[in-house]
Amino acid sequence: MNTGNTSPADQLVAAMGRIYSRGLTTTSGGNLSVLDEEGNIWITPSGLDKGSLTRNQICCVRPDGTVAEGGKPSIELAFHQAIYHARPDIRAILHAHPPALVAFSIAHAMPRPRLLAPAARSCGRLGYADYAIPGSDRLGEYLSAEFRKGSDVVMMKNHGVCIGAHDMAAAYRQLETLEVLATIEGYAHRLGGAEALSEEEVSRYASLSRADKEPLPATIGEEEAEARRRLVSFAGRACRQQLFTGSLGCLSLRLGDGTFLITPIGADCTCLDETELIRVEMATKREKPLPVEVDMHAQIYQRHPEIHCIIGACPVYSMAFAVTGAPLDLTLMPESYVQLRELRRISFHEGLADPKKIACLLSPEAPALLWENGQLIVVGNSLLQTFDRLEVVERTAQAIWMVQDIGRAVRLPEEELALF
């Protein structure tokens, strides 16, 4: 979601369409707003279908409170006004009712950003607001007080979540990331409970993940141009299949000249542009170290010339196993066993300390690995094969997670496995 030169009304329509299509709010639930340079608040309307909003339905409320465009503003306009007054740095507000975060709000509990290293620093500072009737002045008082304390995300008891950011794209990324974290933590409870990282571990990861923006190469050959198109296509597909979560996911492809293309760290892969992809040389000596995710891909490619594609992702069922230590047995289904044989694991500390260890554990014969509290990593000889393997791991994890409510998981007999 790129909000660069997009009008406030179009930003809100695009954001609400994405929120609704991902099931992060209902037809009647939630509201969004953007504050423009003149102090006008552009806000979604009250009582209209969130799944089919148009730009003409977006309301523009002047600083004096009069409505300049659109129909009736959201009944929760008051808390948007209160938050903008409390925090002049906030230019966009997102309020939604995503199911996992709502579950936490009902339990008066807080999701833990440190559950996943790639997500921990992108959630902002979290706060909690007491319950008040939707649309009431008291709700505005409770929310603005939490934002005034410095919160970027405020959980609303028995209600939902409210996010304030510098633009709507950033607010949406926080919403999506937090909902994934809350979902993983909820699923992990049934597997024995999740283990979060320490603040020191998260800080160490963050320090190794910083990357300078790479300029687009002066010349792009036909092979690279096609590779860029396919990477962008599959990155978008991963988002649609909910294997990537906007900014949580990384995909790379080997080129034939000793380099590889990789999606930028933290980029929104739903709307990635081909020019944003980074070309990395697989050199052994560098002036500056590569970010840990990029270095991991480089180490894998250098060790395994037959591997041509790598995907790192945080799909919710696989990561529920990754944050609990619960076994994810691939011998329960022919599809997972034939394609993957086994799912190897490495602790977060080991993988962060030495990405070469991850490269050593992966191979064409063992193409999938869970980096605990990090990501699921799959490799293959093509984009399609690697993407298929990613889907197989996640759907297998989902099936194994669901079987707990049905009965005991039964492994395939050894004599049957030996036939593959």
User: What is the model's pLDDT at position 217?
Assistant: 62
Q: Is residue 203 a contact partner of residue 51, using CB atoms and an 8 Å limit?
A: no
DSSP codes of every residue in 222-281: HHHHHHHHHHHHHHHHHHHTTSSBTTBEEEEEE-TTSEEEEPPTT--GGG--GGG-EEEE
**Are residues 383 and 341 part of one domain?**
yes
- Among residues 136, 158, 190, the one where a domain terminates is 190
**In this structure, are 343 and 299 located in the same domain?**
yes
Q: Tell me the whole-structure pTM to 2 decimals.
A: 0.92
Please report whether residue 3 resides in a domain: no
Tell me if residue 41 falls in helix, strand or coil: strand
pLDDT along the chain (420 residues), means of 10: 76 95 91 96 92 92 90 93 96 97 97 93 92 94 97 96 96 95 96 93 85 61 93 95 88 92 89 91 71 91 96 97 92 86 94 93 96 97 97 95 88 77
Question: 137, 155, 190: which is the final residue of a domain?
Answer: 190
The pLDDT of residue 265: 84
Amino acid 209: pLDDT: 77
Residue numbers of the domain that contains 121: 8-190
Q: Are residues 70 and 109 in the same domain?
A: yes
Number of structural domains found in the chain: 2
**25 DSSP assignment:** S
- What count of residues does the chain have? 420
List the beta bridge partners of residue 249. Answer: 313
Same domain (yes/no): 353, 394: yes
What is the per-residue pLDDT for 77? 95
Same domain, 32 and 166: yes
Contact predicate 197/117, CB 8 Å:
yes
User: What is the predicted pLDDT for the residue at 158?
Assistant: 96
412 & 383 share domain: yes
Q: Write the DSSP symbol of residue 347.
A: -
Which residue in the block uniquely carries the two structure tokens 């603005």? 144
Q: What is the CATH number of the domain that holds 44?
A: 3.40.225.10
Whether residue 76 lies in the annotated active site:
yes
Neighbouring residues of 117: CB distance < 8 A, sequence distance ≥ 6: 197, 201, 202, 205, 348, 352, 373, 374
User: For position 260, what pLDDT does the model report?
Assistant: 94
Tell me, yes or no, whether 53 and 129 share the same domain: yes
Kindly give the pairing relationship between strand 41-43 and strand 368-371: unpaired
**Residues 142 and 233 reside in one and the same domain:** no
297 CB contacts (<8 Å, ≥6 apart)?
250, 252, 260, 262, 280, 310, 312
379: helix, strand or coil: strand
Residue 195 lies in a domain: no
Clarify whether residues 221 and 287 are in a common domain.
yes
44 DSSP 8-state letter: P
| Distance between first and last Cα of the chain | 44
245 and 344 housed in the same domain: yes
> What pLDDT shows up at residue 292?
87
Are 44 and 176 contained in the same domain?
yes
Query: Are 315 and 394 contained in the same domain?
Result: yes
Catalytic residue chosen out of the listed positions 37, 38, 69, 76: 76
CA angle 375, 225, 15 (to 5 degrees): 55
Asked if residues 140 and 79 have their Cβ atoms less than 8 Å apart, the reply is yes
Q: Are 47 and 29 a contacting pair, CB within 8 Å?
A: no
The verdict on residue 94 lying in a domain is yes
Rounded alpha-carbon distances, angstroms, from residue 50 to 129, 136, 161, 216, 370: 25, 21, 17, 38, 37
